[in-house]
Structure 1
Amino acid sequence: MRGYNKLHMYTSTIMVYQRMKSAEIVLDFGCYCQIMEAYNKIGDTDKAVKLFLEFETRKLDSTPFPKQMYRILFESLGKSGRAFEALKFFRDMTRKGISGDSSMYASLICSFASIREVKEAEELFKEAAEKRLLRDPEVFLKVVLMYIEQGLVEKTLEIVVAMKDAKVKVSDCILCAIVNGFSKRRGYWAAVKVYEQLISQDCIPGQVTYASIINAYCRIGLYSKAEMVFQEMEKMGFDKCVVAYSSMVAMYGKTARLRDAMRLVAKMKAKGCEPNVWIYNALMDMHGKAKNMRQVEKLWKEMKRKKVIPDKVSYTTIISAYNKVREFEMCVNFYNEFRMNGGVIDRAMAGIMVGVFSKLSRIEELVKLLRDMKSEGTRLDERLYSSSLNAMRDAGLQMQAEWLQQNFEGT
């Protein structure tokens, strides 16, 4: 059975156990441990717990291996959401004179953190820290995620202190979780502040954290900081992060730095990192604002050739670009393609197409657009309402104008 478990052939271990049981072969402690582990690994935690209870009633001599079975028990109970039962067994174990080890504390803390029982997780965490038994990085990550989910993001910084005290490296995963937690719960300014605080404490970011903080700097307009961190990220060897490239290209778009954006994308491609839909959208938006339709069309064709699926923003961007150069028929063609692909009309798309259909005097299509908006639950703002109403009145369509007033006025 030990051999099967080492090979992850847990069902074979269980088959051996069932044959032993039918042959009425008495199990020793080692057998119980192997079978419990097998049931635990395949997710049948109830049977693992049942075997532990059976073992206890038999009172077998298990002096050489007292902790192994408890470790499996705590893990099994934790997996099935029975953390409080695991804690009860743990306290009973310590009363019997068996001391808890780092893996037991890790299992218990992770179990309580997973079900967001902050008080019990904190007590066990403190207890393990006092005994110098905090060694598993997963424990720290689980507690950090628990605090973030509960909105207690400031407490995540205490975990960083505990990790340093335990001489456990603050991983990129934990650093990123904290930065993103502050972004979500306290906003981008708070995320930037906590990032800079953690860096001052010698925490070393990795690719994921770099990407997150570049996005945060871009969101609050600290563009020079974003560029500085991006350059630092490249020097550290993280030069193939599409998310970071996306943030930088979008930033260049906001600051009208079209050449810098194109150079960055060329550099990205040279390193074998393919642009995603966000990057294509940002580039098309920049060229569209510059009325450079040749580049817009080139980017759209490149997207299709590389099988990057356009999203709602992609269609809105290219339709907006054609609208700027008054190529309204192209706007209609892309709008129809968008709808054929299952696209849902939002205010941005409606804002462009109401104007397009009005300018082309295609009132029937305008009415259909408005009906589709109504059925899809998209509200019509005052500007679009006035534009649509005027178009219908100018076309002498009083009945359609009355329908519009009845269905959209006051929205």
Structure 2
Amino acid sequence: MGKIPSSFRSSRLPVSTMLRNPKSVPPEQHQSSTPTPTPTPTPPRTRHFPKKSTFNKRPPKHPTLTQSPRFTFDSPNLSDAKTLFNSLVTSFAASAAQDLNFLNSILQSFAAISTLSDSISLFRHMIKTHPPFSPDRSTYHILLSQSCKSPDSSLSPVHQVLNLMLTDGFPPDKVTTDIAARTLCSVGREEDAVELIKELSCKHSPPDTYTYNFLVKHLVKSRTLITVNNFIKEMRESFEIKPDLVTYTIMIDNVCNTKNLREAIRLLGVLAEEGFKPDRYVYNTIMKGYCKLNRGAEVLSVYKKMEEEGIEPDIVTYNTLIFGLSKAGRVKEARKYLNVMAEMGHFPDAVTYTSLMNGIFREKNVNASEALQLLEEMEAKGCSPNSCTYNTVLHGLCKLKLLEKGIEFYGVMKAGDMKLETGSYGTFVRALIRNGRIAEAYEVFDYAVESKSMTDFAAYSTLESTLRWLKKAKEQGFVV
């Protein structure tokens, strides 16, 4: 990142860009009694809002199914596959020919390009002609995964493999259920996954919590809330499979993303009824929901609720709180939490400062020097401004008609190879054109395209529409 120009330091001199989860580098904890943070060479990365991927993390996938095949078939022809298999097992050393992973990789390679029927035929041929091949459950799971991707819109191919497993002494277990559910969802067959989950649950192979929450996570993205609630209710009543804290967190995150905060609050009540205590992540999600609804001031009540319940805030909590308060025009109040978070061992990062700058530029009586001083404070405390920080300041300077300062700031961004965000790009280009600096506007357009800040079409549309406005304004005598 570029350094702040000297002309900006202690300047007496304004942005409504939305923060988009910029990554930042928090300073190292200061060892003295004062809360002032100091720089650190290798800090961890943080985000303004929690990653969605933190939901439902499970142990590593089954190794047999994730290994790359050691051999690849070029033809889906069954006869050729059988001949090639015979040749392979006779040409390899005895240890390799008896290696189950190697033999599974052969079947997996053929299954990737053949029909299920031909894969099963090759599977039977391998058992018959090569006695050292003793398939285990993972072998059948290769066929099961293929059956779930079958072009047949019914579950008949899946039932065919499950029956084969049962006949050969490998009744479906929780791993079987997991593979089937995940593979069906991967090809957009969530309803079939639900149907199969219910069927397997009846046959004493219910999903574990990882599979159950995985399916709920998929359903909330592709089905109505009523459908998801009905699924949860049926699994509870019919199979005694109850949602856990992760399940409710997935649900709460989803309704917050769709701005259905009423349902999120209802789910909080359900959590309490079920005997679960909301954790930090649940509250952070609720706070994020208030921000999305432009009710940033209400994040403070959530923060206080966390304090009452003895739940320790993290960096995400403080960043969301500061973002919400700043967005609601309560910048002075938000700034107070810089010291609070430092006292708790969570030092302000680029996201924290950018949120405050964003709030400053949104105030009615904007004081640009306050934002620039905050920028200087960032560097003084070892916190490097990121691309979002610079875009926020560029946007604000142009909105305040401080074009010369904006141009200087753009130079710092360009020197640091930072991308322009759509909002700051549009505001900057319009400011240049309205001040008759057409050539410079074209140069900014070229940089936006070359740096892949946005699509060529988006960049050109902004430039072209502003030029049309300028032409029309001149014709009407508004611009000389």
Same fold (TM over 0.5): yes
Contact 1:116 1:146 in 2 (8 A): no
In 1, Cα distance between equivalents of 2:120 and 2:343: 56
Match of 2:218, SS state, is: helix
The code of the aligned residue for 1:269 comes to A
In 1, Cα distance between equivalents of 2:374 and 2:343: 17
In 2, Cα distance between equivalents of 1:257 and 1:383: 37
Give 1:336-347 correspondences, 5 Å limit. Answer: 336-338=411-413, 341=417, 343-344=419-420, 346=422
Contact 1:74 1:86 in 2 (8 A): no
In 2, Cα distance between equivalents of 1:355 and 1:387: 15
Aligned residue number for residue 393 of structure 2? 317
Deviations 1:254-292 (A, max 9, x none): 333223211222222333434444432221133343544
CA gap 1:335/1:127 in 2 versus in 1, 3 angstroms: same
Give 1:246-395 correspondences, 5 Å limit. Answer: 246-288=319-361, 289=363, 290-304=365-379, 305-311=382-388, 314-321=390-397, 324=400, 327-338=402-413, 341=417, 343-344=419-420, 346=422, 349-351=425-427, 354-355=430-431, 363=436, 365-366=437-438, 368-369=440-441, 376-378=460-462, 385=469, 389=473
Aligned residue number for residue 163 of structure 2? 91
> Deviation at 1:169?
5.7
Decide which of 117, 120, 136 is 1:69's aligned counterpart: 136
Aligned residue number for residue 53 of structure 1? 124
CA gap 1:266/1:237 in 2 versus in 1, 3 angstroms: same
> Deviation at 1:216?
0.8
Contact 2:398 2:427 in 1 (8 A): no
The range that moved more, 143-152 or 72-81, is 72-81
> Deviation at 1:153?
3.7
Aligned residue number for residue 226 of structure 1? 299
- Identity %, equivalent residues: 12
CA gap 1:187/1:246 in 2 versus in 1, 3 angstroms: same
Aligned residue number for residue 127 of structure 1? 199
The code of the aligned residue for 1:115 comes to V
In 2, Cα distance between equivalents of 1:26 and 1:333: 69
In 1, Cα distance between equivalents of 2:130 and 2:433: 84
Match of 2:163, SS state, is: helix
Aligned length: 372
> Deviation at 1:379?
6.3
Deviations 1:343-378 (A, max 9, x none): 4474655446645775xxx52x24642786696321
Contact 1:182 1:191 in 2 (8 A): yes
CA gap 1:367/1:308 in 2 versus in 1, 3 angstroms: closer
The code of the aligned residue for 1:264 comes to Y
Match of 1:268, SS state, is: helix
In 2, Cα distance between equivalents of 1:254 and 1:122: 41
Decide which of 178, 188, 193 is 1:116's aligned counterpart: 188
Contact 2:148 2:183 in 1 (8 A): yes
Contact 1:210 1:233 in 2 (8 A): yes
Decide which of 229, 233, 242 is 1:157's aligned counterpart: 229
Deviations 1:211-241 (A, max 9, x none): 2221112333555653333344455545224
Match of 2:302, SS state, is: helix
> Deviation at 1:207?
3.8
Give me the TM-score of the superposition, normalised by structure 1: 0.68
The code of the aligned residue for 1:307 comes to S
Decide which of 314, 317, 342 is 1:240's aligned counterpart: 314
RMSD between superposed Cα atoms in Å? 4.9
Aligned residue number for residue 253 of structure 2? 180
> Deviation at 1:90?
0.8
**Structure with larger RCO (C-alpha < 8 A, sep 6+):** 2
Aligned residue number for residue 139 of structure 1? 211
Aligned residue number for residue 176 of structure 2? 104
The code of the aligned residue for 1:142 comes to F
For the pair 1:209 / 2:282, whether they are aligned, the reply is yes
In 1, Cα distance between equivalents of 2:143 and 2:306: 41
> Deviation at 1:117?
1.4
The code of the aligned residue for 1:117 comes to R
Contact 1:296 1:318 in 2 (8 A): no
> Deviation at 1:252?
0.9
Deviations 1:49-81 (A, max 9, x none): 88843454359699xx9xx72344215642796
More helix by share: 1
Task: Structure 2: state its 5+ residue gaps.
Answer: 1-61, 72-86, 113-118, 446-456
Task: Structure 1: state its 5+ residue gaps.
Answer: 397-411
Give me the TM-score of the superposition, normalised by structure 2: 0.60
In 2, Cα distance between equivalents of 1:115 and 1:232: 42
> Deviation at 1:112?
1.4
> Deviation at 1:126?
0.8
In 2, Cα distance between equivalents of 1:123 and 1:278: 44
The range that moved more, 150-159 or 163-172, is 163-172
The range that moved more, 328-337 or 386-395, is 386-395
